[in-house]
Structure 1
Amino acid sequence: MADDVRVIVARYREDVSWLRELGYPFLIYDKSDDPFPGAVPLPNIGREAHTYLTHIVREYDTLAPVTAFVQGDPFDHLSDHGRATVDDLRRIIADVADRGTPFKGLAWFRLKCDGLGRPHDLRKPENRGRWAGWGRDIPVAEIFGHLFQAEPPVQFIARAATGNFCVTRERIRTRPRAFYEYALSLVLADPQDENNTGHAFERLWQLIFNGNAAWNRDRYPGTEA
């Protein structure tokens, strides 16, 4: 049902008028110099990871049964048949809610990488200047180690590499609020993403929300299985 879903939008300057057609309650966090009416302003730091973690920390106790975390223009990566529509996104979210799927990346593809985020496009000459961390690897294994104090896998399979995904309230709460506060602190320590911390989170969302509470216990001894 629509009331079971809330859409959280990380906006910069995108046209988000499509949200009115989507049919779900939404909240926009705006990082632009031209804020969307009614949006919650945030500083333009930390990529969408900063937005999503800020929302979880602030609303941990009042989360919707299902939250769809999306960028201001999520439609280029939802389908392998070209740019998706609002109807496509609505159907995907409805399917997740109806099935009770704990976590689902909304991109049509999965991305495989090693602990340095390779292969990646942060060294392509045509992308020079697009990101502060251009030319550097992505610290996927390093951020994994900070978050979980566990041995990182040799290969990561990112199911939400575009930064668009749905996750249930129960799956978010598998980890305590303090976990997300700590995760947010990692993003805040790299505000312009010069070290590609935000890019690392794009490759880790499926692990953050995988329900493995055992990874929390060393840092958060009160965590329940």
Structure 2
Amino acid sequence: MKIKFQSTRLYLWHTFNMKKIIFVVSFLIIISIESIVNITEWSNAFKSSTKYSELLHSKSTEFNSYNDSIVLQTQFDIVLSYYSEDIDFVAQYIRSLRHVLTLKKLNPRIIVYNKNSKVNNSVLKLLLKADIIQLLPNLGREGGTYLYHIINNYDIIANHTIFSQAGVEGITNRGLADWYLDRLDKQFNSSVGYMPLINNNMITNYDCGSHRTGHFPRMVQVWSMLEQSLCPPGGQAVAFRGQFLVSGKRIRDRPLKVYKYLYELITVNSSHWLHRDIRSIFYKSTPDNPIFGHTVERIWTILFKCFKNDLYDRCKRRECACFDES
């Protein structure tokens, strides 16, 4: 009887320790993934093509403050948020987009928002062969850029817009990655309301802000604000990285005041209580990289009503879009 008791106790002890080990390993994996993502974001943000460095960092106040106006509505806009990404890389991305057959027919307009006051706007426009360039303060990550564009062009927003970071995912030495080209060339048409432009493995489901890789409680509040209801269980589709295509109709389905409020939150100064939210012990919220910016990165599917939890499966089947009603 004593031997049996000791065996049971030994078994329970081993089981308990195994659970502890699994928990610690899982925790370390999550931290490692987050650290790699942060390091990658940091390195991408500070890449700069040395052969253009002198030109790009011209001290001329006239050129550095150069801004184009947006006065006309177009069929298709490509909006890029730029800081100091490699010029050759960004230029190749723009060329690749211009050559997609479905987009080429729509004569897409390239709009670059430069968030680096040390970069010469007119030179950047020339090197990227952009149609429009504007200088913005470096606030709110790429989400702040997209919201600024929507707010200031709400009444003349393009029929469709691609919103993307300049350090894009989905570009190769040959041009656009196969999955990216397939989305634009085979899956896009005039009735598309929203389409994520990121690899399938960057599409997942959150359960009202909760996910195995982290918890974003502000998502629940944003859901309630947008949908006028409590966040329902069952999971909501989230597409990371802030790269997507959206229709003007779907943008205007939300009132302008919603975008203004989100922009106000994503660009708050460093003393604001939102910066006290905690993501991890390695992360410090700042106006140029606010924690709320990472929440906004996860709510585009909700904002543009393409959050059903089968989005990942549909993207695997090459049906990666939500459509506007005719």
TM superposition shift of 1:192: 3.7
With the length of structure 2 as denominator, give the TM-score of the two structures: 0.51
Structure 2 unmatched ranges of 5 or more: 1-73, 99-107, 126-132, 269-273, 275-286, 308-326
Q: Partner of 2:192: helix, strand, or coil?
A: coil
Deviations 1:36-64 (A, max 9, x none): 52321111111111000000000011111
What is the identity, as a one-letter code, of the residue corresponding to 1:156? Q
2 CA distance for matches of 1:174 and 1:148? 12
Question: Which is helix-richer, 1 or 2?
Answer: 2
Aligned to 1:13: 84
Q: Taking structure 1 as reference, are residues 73 and 162 closer, same or farther at Cα in structure 2, changes over 3 Å only?
A: same
Q: Taking structure 1 as reference, are residues 115 and 102 closer, same or farther at Cα in structure 2, changes over 3 Å only?
A: same
- Contact kept in structure 1, 2:169 and 2:198, CA below 8 Å: no
Alignment of 1:58-97 (within 5 A): 58-76=152-170, 85-86=175-176, 88=178, 89=180, 91-95=182-186, 97=188
2 CA distance for matches of 1:8 and 1:90? 17
TM superposition shift of 1:170: 0.6
2 CA distance for matches of 1:84 and 1:183? 37
What is the identity, as a one-letter code, of the residue corresponding to 1:113? Y
Alignment of 1:169-208 (within 5 A): 169-189=248-268, 191-194=287-290, 196-208=291-303
Q: Taking structure 1 as reference, are residues 149 and 188 closer, same or farther at Cα in structure 2, changes over 3 Å only?
A: farther
2:220 aligned with 1:141: yes
2:206 aligned with 1:113: yes
Q: Which moved more, 1:92-101 or 1:39-48?
A: 92-101
For the pair shown, the structure with the greater C-alpha radius of gyration is: 2
Q: Which moved more, 1:82-91 or 1:174-183?
A: 82-91
- Contact kept in structure 1, 2:237 and 2:306, CA below 8 Å: no
- Contact kept in structure 2, 1:117 and 1:137, CA below 8 Å: yes
Q: Taking structure 1 as reference, are residues 187 and 103 closer, same or farther at Cα in structure 2, changes over 3 Å only?
A: same
Q: Which of 109, 121, 131 pairs up with 1:25?
A: 109
2 CA distance for matches of 1:35 and 1:91? 35
Aligned to 2:45: none
- Contact kept in structure 2, 1:116 and 1:138, CA below 8 Å: yes
Aligned to 1:50: 144
2 CA distance for matches of 1:35 and 1:120? 39
TM superposition shift of 1:115: 3.6
What is the identity, as a one-letter code, of the residue corresponding to 1:197? F
After superposition, the CA RMSD in angstroms is 2.8
Percent identity between the two aligned chains: 26
Structure 1 unmatched ranges of 5 or more: 122-135, 213-225
Deviations 1:2-59 (A, max 9, x none): x621100011111221214421311001112325523211111111110000000000
With the length of structure 1 as denominator, give the TM-score of the two structures: 0.72
Deviations 1:115-158 (A, max 9, x none): 4453337xxxxxxxxxxxxxx85632233334444312333321
2:119 aligned with 1:34: yes
